[in-house]
Amino acid sequence: MVPFHLDPGRAALLVIDMQRDFLLPGGFGESLGNDVSQLRRTIEPLAAVLQAWRAAGLPVIHTREGHRPDLSDCPPAKLRRAPDIGRPGQFGRILIRGEYGHDIIDELAPRPDEPVVDKPGKGAFYATDLSDILEKLAVTQLVVTGVTTEVCVHTTVREANDRGYECLVPADCVGSYFPSFHQVGLEMIAAQGGIFGWVADSASVIASLGAKR
């Protein structure tokens, strides 16, 4: 496999959908019968990477999946598969922008200077300004973190790969409600010499930042 060499001058940290609706006990994710502890295990290592990344002065971009209050940006097919979108939940209307549950958990709250990309789909590039943000930052590498491994993380890595970005996924900074999906998702990213990207861990990312500094 071709090795991945982090170039801090060309890299951004992408934090995908670390939202209360997905991670908090009593939220939307748990209401579907999911074990949110499978996602919450990512918070500590991701917070450590985030702290190191900020200390190095590198760009951080957050995403949130959700929809306008009138659901005008929610395709009917998606709403049929997920009819709870827009309905009242413990933390406000589910996956609706501006609601408490739609926002990012306190432990990973964005700083005022960090862009937050609101996306209506699974991938972070679809119907968003992420490409423009990365182009202005002259970014060619993405360290991709967040949830869930096999859905929004995977979709975003695939989108990024097609756009020419090099993606590194720290395994302990991404999570799924289903451990088997998480493992297979990571294996798919790194298969065949890195068909979509590279997989490492948070300690390696932090150590690499220290070495570059």
Is pLDDT of 29 > 90? yes
Contact 177, 27 (CB under 8 A): no
* Distance between CA atoms of residues 42 and 186, nearest Å: 15
State mean pLDDT over 154-166.
98
Q: Which two tokens stand for residue 57?
A: 């002065």
Q: How many domains does the chain have?
A: 1
Whether 71 is in a domain gets the answer: no
How buried is residue 174: exposed, middle or buried, by Cβ count under 10 Å (0-12/13-18/19+)? buried
pLDDT(20) > 70: yes
- Decide if 159 is inside a domain: yes
CA 106 to chain centre: 15
Among 190, 155, 192, smallest CA distance to 170 is for 190
Does residue 107 surpass a pLDDT of 80? yes
Residue 2 forms part of a structural domain: no
- Mean pLDDT over 92-99 rounds to 98
The answer to whether residue 165 sits within a structural domain is yes
By percentage, how much of the chain surpasses pLDDT 90? 97
What is the reported pLDDT for 7? 95
Share of the chain above pLDDT 70, in %: 99
CA dist., res. 88 & res. 91, Å (int): 8
Q: Is residue 192 part of a domain?
A: yes
pTM of the full structure: 0.97
Q: What is the pLDDT of residue 210?
A: 83
Any domain includes 74: no
Please give the radius of gyration of the chain, using alpha carbons only, rounded to the nearest integer.
16
**Domain that residue 158 falls in:** 8-65+110-212
Of 174, 156, 154, 133, the closest CA to residue 49 belongs to 174
Confidence of residue 74 (pLDDT cuts 50, 70, 90): very high
Contacts of 123-126 with C-beta under 8 Å, sequence gap 24+, read 123/152, 123/155, 123/156, 123/158, 123/159, 124/14, 124/16, 124/63, 124/152, 124/155, 124/156, 124/159, 125/156, 125/159, 125/160, 125/163, 126/159
pLDDT band at residue 3, thresholds of 50, 70 and 90?
confident
Q: Does 141 fall in a domain?
A: yes
How far the first Cα of the chain sits from its last, in Å, is 26
Enumerate the active-site residues.
17, 119, 152
Is residue 86, in this structure, part of any structural domain at all? no
The alpha carbon of 48 is separated from its chain's Cα centroid by a whole number of angstroms, namely 15
Which CATH number fits the domain that encloses residue 47? Answer: 3.40.50.850
- Arithmetic mean of pLDDT over the chain: 97
Confidence of residue 212 (pLDDT cuts 50, 70, 90): low
pLDDT over threshold 80, residue 140:
yes
Residue holding tokens 């090099």?
A: 166
